[in-house]
Amino acid sequence: MISIPTSSLAPFSQREEMVDRTRSKILIREYNEDKDVKMVRKLERNSEIGTKKVVSIFTNMMGDPLSRIRFFPLHVMLVAELLESRELVGVIRGVIKNVGTLSGSLLKMGYILGLRVSPTYRRKGVALRLIAAVEEWMVRNGAEYAFLATEKDNDASKNLFTIKCNYVNLSSLVIFVQPISSLTKHISRDIKIEKVDIDLAISLYRRTLRTKDLYPLDMDVILKEKLSVGTWVSYYNREGLNLRSKVNNEEDLISNETSNSWVIFSIWNTCEAYKLQVRRSQQVRFLLTTLNHARERLFPCLKMSMSNSLCRSFGFLFLYGIYGQGENLGELMESMWRFTSRVGEGMGNCKVFITELGFGDPLANHVPQTDSISCIDDLWYTKRLSSHVDVNIDEILMRQVGNVFVDPRDF
């Protein structure tokens, strides 16, 4: 999530002069894991997200600035370094992965997952240089498109990428945030939730993902990642469900005319990679970042007392790969919701679980509307990087797509 402060700007001529002076004093280079860790951690501490007064929420990456991008074979982290003092004043993270589309096209897409700039060096062109540098890296590695996410009401962020960097809106989504402690854990006896072995889960997803406008081609890698807790299917006992039969009959698996109702879902445990933390701050600082774009609004959802939550790190679960079929999906989605809450409760320091669905996803209308749930409007943006892209593919991505798969590694 890109979060950019909306403070007033200096006059245009002054800003241009400041940008020119800053450009000659800064080097954009690749992150050095041996010598940059402490400086990056300091930069991120100084770039905390905060409220208007004394509380701020930031990501505790548990000492590893690369923790959010190590899941991808092709990843990079670039830093902006002052030539004189060697101080780091900005970072950006990028990855590349292969995705498929509903039309059957295969694309190589670059994702901007993290952009942070020191408060002192904002509005001086540092962010633009970092964005340009990571886009150049993506092009060198064969990416055809770049992609990022930001909140719908963040006008400054949208202006940065649409006006200055030529990105266009790709999709609108909703992030659902559910506090674990506020949800009843009872699941109806009429419903069975069955864990699926990983090979069967891969087979199911390889077929059901074809109904999505955009989806990753390495679902097997995602499911085998250590942060993936598992895959389950929820269905009605009276109807039964033979999943292996459905895998062997592809037409039945992806047909909406099946008489049985069922929902498949997977859970990702972010607690093992990084956590969120709430802190008091003498001066509110703002964060320029694409990482964990729900966290600015997590704190009000936690229903935690201020004194008990400050300075404590806490994790969350991410629900992904949700796919449903049949006419009676409401109760099945509710059972999935309560089951995930149970899983999170058993993980000790997990406070919330989160999922994200596109506006065109049929299951978005079946998300349980509990009293404690919070919804955040999210926007995805894209930009064509290659001049050799098929025109038909370009038309697919330049229009709004609604039913997309949200990769847990991107969140």
Task: Summarize pLDDT for 368-408 with one digit per residue, the tens.
Answer: 988 888 888 888 999 999 877 666 666 666 565 778 899 99
Quickly state the pLDDT bin for 62 (edges 50, 70, 90).
low
pLDDT at 108 over 60: yes
Q: What is the mean pLDDT of residues 115-140?
A: 92
Average pLDDT, the chain: 79
Q: What is the mean pLDDT of residues 202-228?
A: 92
Biggest alpha carbon–alpha carbon distance for the chain: 72
pLDDT at 410 over 50: yes
| 262-269 vs 228-236, strand pairing mode | antiparallel
User: Which stretch, 133-142, 164-173, 178-187, 314-323, has highest mean pLDDT?
Assistant: 133-142
pTM of this structure: 0.81
| 262-269 vs 214-216, strand pairing mode | unpaired
Q: What is the mean pLDDT of residues 196-213?
A: 91
The share of the chain scoring above pLDDT 90, in percent, equals 40
- Phi/psi at 113 (nearest 5 deg)? -105, -10
CA pair distance 174, 380, nearest whole angstrom: 11
CA pair distance 298, 373, nearest whole angstrom: 10
CA gyration radius, the chain: 22
Task: Kindly report the number of other CB atoms within 10 A of residue 50's CB atom.
Answer: 19
pLDDT attached to residue 396: 63
Whose tokens are 């897409």? That residue is 109
Q: Are 350 and 313 in contact (CB under 8 A)?
A: no
- Under the phi-then-psi rule, with left for phi > 0, alpha for psi from -120 to 50, and beta for the rest, what region is 62? left
pLDDT attached to residue 23: 63
Half-sphere exposure of 100 (CA within 13 A, CB side): 16
Q: What are 178's strand-pairing partners?
A: 353
Q: Tell which residue, 362, 332, 333, 326, has the closest CA to residue 237.
A: 332
- Give kind and range of the element (H or E) at residue 309: helix 306-309
pLDDT attached to residue 105: 84
Q: Are 43 and 282 in contact (CB under 8 A)?
A: no
